Amino acid sequence: MDDGSLSEARIKVIGVGGGGGNSINRMIEAGIEGVDFISANTDMQALRDSLAPTRLQLGAKLTRGRGTGSNPEIGKRAALEDTEKILELLEGADMVFITAGLGGGTGTGAAPIIANLAAEMNALTVAVVTRPFNFEGKKRLAHAEEGLRELKERADTVITIPNERLLGTVERGTSLAEAFRIADDVLRQAVQGISDLILVPGVINVDFQDVKTVMCDMGIALMGTGMGSGENRATEAVQKVIASPLLEESSIRGAKGVLVNVSGSRESLSLHEVNEALSIIHEAAHPEAHIIFGAVFDEKLGDKIKITVIATGFERPQELKAVSAAARNKVLPVIEPIRLDREYGIPESDGINTYLHDAHDIPAFVRKKAAR
């Protein structure tokens, strides 16, 4: 480990599947800094539309770049096909965020495999996932529940965003496209709320080890955000957090760990406001909860204050998160290429060409392999 890594944790965010890829785009558009972005998908067209500087095609031989047909088992096998590439891309990370929309094929099937690999590299592994809207159907909901169960066994913490609860936060006339955009953006908020505490200077900074304390081996977590303005903006913001459909007061009460991010502009954010917000959260939290908090500067907020709360430790995983050697080394049966209704007309790619980097962004280990 070099001296630089001692002073600043290296954070990597990998978006898996369509929902995960969309969340990566939101993060890049929002200007999140200090993290490495990776987009991984079985769908070649989605990868080509990605803003991520590093893009990995999963299961090129299995799916020929045409996706999984919403089959999580295919998503799982696609990730197993490319475990070596995934490990190379995650190398050196102290913390790995895995974002995905559960219910589909790639995100649901591949995310638990990637979480396994990240955990095996001793990275703090946090999955941030959405669960489907009810209108998406029982089959998709069932896939999501199975994917969530597998993630809980492999990731340190799984922050779940139930899309159905988001309906309580949007106006009735909200379009379908806008509803999904909001869901993708909540994933962005969760990642930024945590990464900013570690990387962005502020009134009160949080050490990576502090974050690790409340997120390592904590199982399911929930997230809530609130915004406030005016004279009592801190109180307003934290009350919105507690009343949030995504994080109710009873959820905070049952949490073993609570991570709090208070954000505001450099000129307006005061220590008094931070103290005011934290006092309310302490009253709402379990008496024995471990509460870690920080205050960071965000000039885009202007005269507003934003509070993000991650509540963890509702239940602890009962199984070890270590990757099964048998699972990783298992020789999979030969599977015929999947035929999907949607044809992209994309030629097969294998080997190093499944990395869709700009030439100047190709990592050294990729260039070395290409030269062999």
Q: What CA–CA distance (Å, rounded) separates 270 from 231?
A: 12
Ranges of H-type helices in the chain:
3-7, 17-30, 44-48, 60-63, 72-81, 83-90, 106-120, 138-154, 163-166, 176-199, 208-215, 233-242, 249-254, 271-284, 325-329, 364-371
Q: What CA–CA distance (Å, rounded) separates 23 from 13?
A: 10
**Whether pTM exceeds 0.85:** no
CATH number at residue 300: 3.30.1330.20
Closest to 314 measured CA to CA, from 245, 217, 195 = 217
Residues 56 and 125 in one domain: yes
- Supply the pLDDT for residue 360: 35
Residues 308 and 168 in one domain: no
Looking at residue 348, its amino acid is E
Residues 107 and 16 in one domain: yes
pLDDT-above-90 percentage for the chain: 47
Closest to 44 measured CA to CA, from 363, 336, 349 = 349
- Residue 291's contacts (CB-CB under 8 Å, 6 or more residues apart) are 214, 257, 258, 259, 260, 278, 281, 282, 285
Q: Report yes or no on 2 lying in a domain.
A: no
Q: Report yes or no on 194 lying in a domain.
A: yes
Q: What CA–CA distance (Å, rounded) separates 67 from 75?
A: 8
Structural tokens at position 327: 């699972």
Domain count, the chain: 2
Query: Which residues span the domain enclosing 96?
Result: 10-199+318-371
Q: Report yes or no on 20 lying in a domain.
A: yes
Average pLDDT, the chain: 81
- Supply the pLDDT for residue 340: 34
Q: What CA–CA distance (Å, rounded) separates 357 from 367?
A: 11
39, with CB counted inside 10 A (0-12, 13-18, 19+), is buried
pLDDT digits (tens, 9 = 90+) for 315-350: 654 433 333 333 334 333 333 333 333 333 333 333
Residues 131 and 170 in one domain: yes
- Taking 3-state DSSP, the helix, strand and coil percentages for the chain, each rounded to the nearest 5, stand at 45, 20, 30
Q: Report yes or no on 180 lying in a domain.
A: yes
Q: What CA–CA distance (Å, rounded) separates 354 from 58?
A: 8
Q: Report yes or no on 290 lying in a domain.
A: yes
Residues 262 and 361 in one domain: no
Q: What CA–CA distance (Å, rounded) separates 203 from 269?
A: 8
Residues 31 and 90 in one domain: yes
Q: Report yes or no on 245 lying in a domain.
A: yes
- Supply the pLDDT for residue 171: 82
Q: What CA–CA distance (Å, rounded) separates 108 from 65?
A: 17
pLDDT digits (tens, 9 = 90+) for 86-139: 999 999 999 999 999 999 999 999 999 999 999 999 999 999 999 998 889 999
Stretches where the chain sits below pLDDT 70 are 1-7, 247-251, 315-372
Q: What is the DSSP code (8-state) at residue 50?
A: -
Q: How far is CA 39 from CA 92, 229, 230, in A?
A: 17, 36, 39
Residues 47 and 178 in one domain: yes
Q: How far is CA 231 from CA 50, 295, 301, in A?
A: 41, 18, 15
Q: Report yes or no on 151 lying in a domain.
A: yes
Q: Report yes or no on 90 lying in a domain.
A: yes
Contact 241, 247 (CB under 8 A): yes
- Return the half-sphere exposure (C-beta side, CA atoms, 13 A cut-off) of residue 330: 12
Residues 187 and 53 in one domain: yes
